[in-house]
Amino acid sequence: AQSVTQPDIHITVSEGASLELRCNYSYGATPYLFWYVQSPGQGLQLLLKYFSGDTLVQGIKGFEAEFKRSQSSFNLRKPSVHWSDAAEYFCAVGARAAGNKLTFGGGTRVLVKP
């Protein structure tokens, strides 16, 4: 069965500093991988996705993520964080053979200090 682990429950970062959120997955084949963001009171919004090809993917809001098959990881990065990036971030793996239903990690809550 597929699974996703986000080791960090909370991260606090200063505005303007860089951010990296960790994600490790377990899946029997090449995975579909996603990062979603959930702002307070808002729905889930897709930041970026990986399904094949270039292992460094660019997303919205200045985010990028790198797929590393050898480490079963798909870490999310942003070079310079803005106060509006304070939110909860979810990594997810999609089941290729089952309608792309998503399995989510537990989420990482990001706090941004001024």
Binding site for another protein (CB under 8 A): 32, 36, 42-46, 49, 51-52, 90, 92, 94, 96, 98-107
CA distances from 103 to 10, 34, 54, 81 (A): 20, 10, 23, 27
Nearer to another protein, 64 or 104 (CB): 104
Place of tokens 């930041």: 47
Smallest distance from another protein to CB 37, Å: 11
Nearer to another protein, 19 or 91 (CB): 91
Nearer to another protein, 26 or 100 (CB): 100
List the one residue out of 83, 79, 84, 78 whose CA is nearest residue 35: 78
